[in-house]
Structure 1
Amino acid sequence: MARNKFDIDETLDTPFNIKHFRRALVYIKKQKKPMIVAFALSALSAGIALSAPLIMQHVVDVTIPNKDKMPLLGWSLLMLATIVVSVILATIRSRMMTRVGQDIIFDIRMDLFKHLQQLPFQYYDDRPQGKILIRVVNYVNSISDVLSNGIINFILEILNLLFIAIFMFAVDAKLSLVILAGLPVFLCVILMIKTRQRRAWQAVSNKSSNMNAYTQESISGIRVTQIFTREKYNEGTFTRLANSYRETWMRTMYLNFLIPFTVDNLSTIVTTSIYFVGLLALSPGEATFGVILAMSSYAARFWQPILNISNLYNSFVNAVAYLERIFETLDEPVTVGDAPDAKELPPIQGRVTFDDVTFAYEPGRNILEHLSFDIRPGESVALVGPTGAGKTTVVNLISRFYNITGGKLLIDGHDIADVKLKSLRSQMGIMLQDSFIFSGTIMDNIRYGKLDATEEEIVAAAKTVCADDFIREFEKGYMTEVNERGSKLSQGQRQLISFARTLLADPRILILDEATSSIDAQTERLLQRGLNELLKGRTSFIIAHRLSTVKNCDRIMYVADKSIAESGSHDELMAKRGRYYKLHSAQKMEA
């Protein structure tokens, strides 16, 4: 699929609209109280700061001409007090908003993580892990300040503009109109570039996502890269992705800097115009030097909030691109989940029935068609056949990792589409081909299958699968720390630990997908004895390419041609001299 590549830009399924931002307000409302306090502190700080030009005007026009030294000292101390109080209030507000911003990050990130854990395997099949990871980490970080400080600052700057306008017109209405004359030009620039800015930031998020996806893929496959000496080739690919990101970023920055550039120049022109109008156009009686000085100060203060608003606008446009990606993820449907009227699956015996089941990963490309069979409780079933025939798909459907396209799949007569997933999967033990090991101790990894398991139960499970001996050879035994994916362990050791983890859950239905593929023949024989005891009384599905490991199963099903081509015991299938017979004979000759 197109999206499952690091060099393909993601396309949004739905365009951004104001509803996205309204959804973001849900997280903001949770921090309503501290944000109101922070806003009040900001408003108070701004109001105090705005009194400074009035003090300056009075000192220039009255105090200094009258040569009043003591009042001058008093006004100076008052000016200093306004600065100190304003700084103190701004510092308190800044600390409060830092915490608010982090709380908003936490809430959004937790919602994303919870939703990602509920999404079906199909979602992860269609996307590189790096493109998912960047949404949970980078994108959430990028929007936090906009959703906390950004909103308060935007409202505050609007109020600042209103307060400054009031002060300006109170001092001199004509010079105030000169200051306001630059606004139409500024608004025209905003309208001209707003659409281009949004598209530019969408492109930045695409290139960032692509680069992150390739980095994650390269780190995960570093061993393969070094084995095949692909370092130079991979470096070239990464250089191309990094250059694409850099060029896209630079084009976006050109648009971003256009607004501050416009504001700075308008501010300079307006300030110059005040001196021109005040000193040359107006009569001496209309504007004193103190008034002109105060108005030039208000001009700088007036355009500073506009500059701040323009920067906030840039940040908002940037955040919009990330919000789109975040909400796109949150809107991904949980297609494999509990139905509204789903019921708890009672303790099961282990009967599994496929009733005319059809399944396709992609519409129109069926993997299984009209598949029907019935497995008795406690029966051991081997699934064999060519690669890609659908063996793993069969066991994935039993666990309901995917929804079937047609037919019914029943366990003890209960349609698994009508029961709660937790009650279904908690009664299954599943060991997939990928023996994933989490960072932590070996004991933690085994206990992952049963969090309340005692140390004795963990050791017993490890002994059953012949993992106890090699675990005790480590200096710290079961408390040995292992890295993510178990890089300190051999593939066979990782499989045995995963085996112990699966068996510890004491499942009624046991699914083993190539569970012994990386275990040597001697360990496999020891493991088989433990498995034979464990499989008694449990329904089990075993996928194995080595037929010697499954010939003792109660039933062997040969999966081919989108269905079950042959079914029976080892002896029955050998006597039939069909596909299983040919596969078994070929393996025997290779041995």
Structure 2
Amino acid sequence: MWWNDYEDDFNDDMPGGLSVKAIFQRIWPFIQPYRRTFCFSFFLGLLGVALVLYQPVLLKRIFDIDLPSGEYRRVLLTGLIFLATMLGSAVINFFSSWLLQKAGVHVVNDIKVKLFDHFLRLGLSFLERYPVGKLVSRIESDTQRLVALSSTMILRVIMSIGMLIGAVVILAIIDLRLFAIVFAVIPILFAGTWLMFKWLRPYFREERSKYSEVSAVVAEFVKSVGILQLYNRGSWAEARLKRQNDRYVQFTSRIGFMEYAIFRGLAFMEILVTVVALWLGANWIKAGTLTVGTIVLFAQYIAQIYWPIIMLTDQLAEIQRAGAAADRIFTALDQQPQIKNCEKTIPVPEKISQIEFRNLSFSYSPGKPVLKNVSFILKGGETLALVGPTGGGKSTIVNLVCRFYDPDDGEILVNGINLKNFELEAWRKRFGLVLQDLCLFPASLRDNMRLFRENISDEQIHLALKTAGIERLIQNGHGSLDKIIAERGANLSQGERQLLALARALTLDPELLILDEASSSVDPGTEAAIQQALQKLLEDRTNIIVAHRLSTIRNASQIAVIQNGLIRETGTHEALMNRNGIYADLLETQLVHSQGTAS
């Protein structure tokens, strides 16, 4: 993990290695809806290049024809045409870049939405494996790297190639000697460009990986700021972040040194070629085989030949960075969800009459079983309570019922049919869910209650709040349904958050209600309010309750005691108390603890 000195296997699981061709093939489906904008922008860009290429020809005319003629009107006219080409190319390039940038942002937003949706489809088995910061970096930072790759960067590469070809062709037509000087050095420039492209690519991918590690540290520390302050670990967190950031800075400094060494070496070639051409050109002018205007034209085209190559080299470095980000994005998109629908799904039964765990075993990591040969039957309309020590496997049973995971062995049967045969979305619509980690969004109370579903009315929301016993509390303390709830419910008490999450699950009027630690971490008064609400909530539903406070599940139809992944005891509260086993010991321990706390 991020707090250790070694690196996690986030990138090892998604090794990447896509070729440049494969990356552009993967980006193309996202570009295709905006292809007309791209094509028009490229056309404008090449039109701007043509105007720039025409400017040295105009300068040659001024020096070789207009000035020697002594007719300064011609000089003025050619100068005005030169000025018009400069203004025209500037305006054309502005609109070309603007249109392409706009299209590129749309492309990247589409990729971002696709990646986010894919991460959600990969499920908990994927999302719980990696730090939040790395996932955010993959969705946000890596995709932003593609804005330039899918827009202005491509335009600059196309314009650079167009400028290079146009300038070389015009030089070859005007004077083959000057063309030969330029052409002699072009292979060296292209070799440097290839070196930049091929050699540095692995470094740029590693750079993105190290950046995501820094993001992971920041995200985890921000979530844990209260604990860090409470235990005076701020200095430790600062030092840990500094070490991680120093690694990133040192690595990027190495890349920058190599990149600029190649870049400046290529730039020196322009100076060398210019000096050689001027020295030879002076002799050719004396001999009368070359004009001053041609030398001026050559000096202009030198920049238009070499700077496109140098700019192309610079753009290739940026393409490598963006390509590393694209590589990480598309290898992530290639990850297949572990939980998915079977080829031929069947409708979920209209009425759930029975849920059965049959000889079920499960482990999050190979060789470390969490559940071992678990079997039980929950009848429709009954309440199953799962109790036992922390880490025994209670929440895992909930995850399996929700089909966030699939069992390693055994099966879950609903009305005698394997749960895997049902369509995932249709199955999950059948239940309301309240988990240990209460998730409230920075949005209105209304949107939090309906989870942004438009088909839930205000009347349904008020009914759910009333049933949960929180309608009066919310309205008196926090206003109407339009009141904004802070992120993770920071402007609500723990009890209000718990009751609100309970009420949210009821907006669907679910057939199956799952409460994981529904009454833990609240004061006794709020727990009593929850107990009163539960008496109404559990009626005419199939319920699964996970709780450490055993007083909350006395009226359950069936209680299963989970310990070390095994069901040790099952029965009603009275039957288990009469057995005087694990359940009775747990209840006695809690009573002693609560009495000690009260005193």
- What is the DSSP-based 3-state SS (H/G/I as helix, E as strand, rest coil) of the residue aligned with 2:375? strand
2:517 to 503, 506, 514: 514
Asked whether 1:109 is paired with 2:118, we answer no
Deviations 1:205-260 (A, max 9, x none): 12211111111111111111111111111111111112112111111111221233
Counterpart-to-counterpart distance in 1, 2:62 and 2:574: 109
Shift of 1:111: 0.7
Query: Within 5 A, what are the aligned runs for 1:139-288?
Result: 139-280=142-283, 284-288=287-291
Counterpart for residue 15 of structure 2? 13
Q: Is the 8 A contact 1:6 1:213 kept in 2?
A: no
Counterpart for residue 531 of structure 2? 528
Counterpart for residue 34 of structure 1? 37
- What is the DSSP-based 3-state SS (H/G/I as helix, E as strand, rest coil) of the residue aligned with 1:481? coil
- What is the DSSP-based 3-state SS (H/G/I as helix, E as strand, rest coil) of the residue aligned with 1:201? helix
With over 3 angstroms needed to count, the CA separation of the structure-2 counterparts of 1:4 and 1:359, relative to structure 1, is farther
Q: Is the 8 A contact 1:128 1:213 kept in 2?
A: yes
Counterpart-to-counterpart distance in 2, 1:562 and 1:192: 57
Counterpart for residue 476 of structure 1? 479
Deviations 1:245-298 (A, max 9, x none): 211111111122123312221111111111011113676222122212211211
Counterpart for residue 23 of structure 1? 26
Deviations 1:120-160 (A, max 9, x none): 10111110011011111111111211122222332232222
Shift of 1:543: 0.9
With over 3 angstroms needed to count, the CA separation of the structure-2 counterparts of 1:418 and 1:6, relative to structure 1, is farther
Asked whether 1:439 is paired with 2:438, we answer no
Moved more, 196-205 or 550-559: 196-205
Deviations 1:144-197 (A, max 9, x none): 111222223322322221111111011100111111222222233344454441
TM-score norm. by structure 1 comes to: 0.96
Identity of aligned residues (%): 28
Q: Is the 8 A contact 1:16 1:320 kept in 2?
A: no
Q: Is the 8 A contact 1:381 1:542 kept in 2?
A: yes
Asked whether 1:417 is paired with 2:420, we answer yes
With over 3 angstroms needed to count, the CA separation of the structure-2 counterparts of 1:97 and 1:484, relative to structure 1, is same
Counterpart for residue 103 of structure 2? 100
Q: Which amino acid aligns with 1:296?
A: A
Shift of 1:497: 0.5
- What is the DSSP-based 3-state SS (H/G/I as helix, E as strand, rest coil) of the residue aligned with 1:437? coil
Counterpart-to-counterpart distance in 1, 2:247 and 2:491: 37
TM-score norm. by structure 2 comes to: 0.94
Moved more, 200-209 or 519-528: 519-528
Moved more, 110-119 or 17-26: 17-26
Q: Is the 8 A contact 1:464 1:531 kept in 2?
A: no
Counterpart-to-counterpart distance in 2, 1:85 and 1:450: 51
- What is the DSSP-based 3-state SS (H/G/I as helix, E as strand, rest coil) of the residue aligned with 1:381? strand
- What is the DSSP-based 3-state SS (H/G/I as helix, E as strand, rest coil) of the residue aligned with 1:13? coil
- What is the DSSP-based 3-state SS (H/G/I as helix, E as strand, rest coil) of the residue aligned with 1:347? coil
Counterpart-to-counterpart distance in 1, 2:18 and 2:4: 24
Shift of 1:579: 1.3
| Unmatched runs of 5 consecutive residues or more in structure 1 | none
Counterpart for residue 122 of structure 1? 125
1:353 to 347, 356, 362: 356
- What is the DSSP-based 3-state SS (H/G/I as helix, E as strand, rest coil) of the residue aligned with 1:372? strand
Q: Is the 8 A contact 1:4 1:127 kept in 2?
A: no
Deviations 1:282-333 (A, max 9, x none): 7622212221221121112111211121111111111121011111221121
Counterpart for residue 66 of structure 2? 63
- What is the DSSP-based 3-state SS (H/G/I as helix, E as strand, rest coil) of the residue aligned with 1:63? helix
Deviations 1:21-73 (A, max 9, x none): 32122222332111111111111111122111111112211221121122112
Counterpart-to-counterpart distance in 1, 2:218 and 2:256: 24
| Count of aligned positions | 590
Counterpart for residue 490 of structure 1? 493
With over 3 angstroms needed to count, the CA separation of the structure-2 counterparts of 1:471 and 1:52, relative to structure 1, is same
| Unmatched runs of 5 consecutive residues or more in structure 2 | none
Asked whether 1:465 is paired with 2:468, we answer yes
Asked whether 1:404 is paired with 2:407, we answer yes
Counterpart-to-counterpart distance in 1, 2:273 and 2:339: 62
Q: Which amino acid aligns with 2:311?
A: N
Q: Is the 8 A contact 2:499 2:530 kept in 1?
A: no
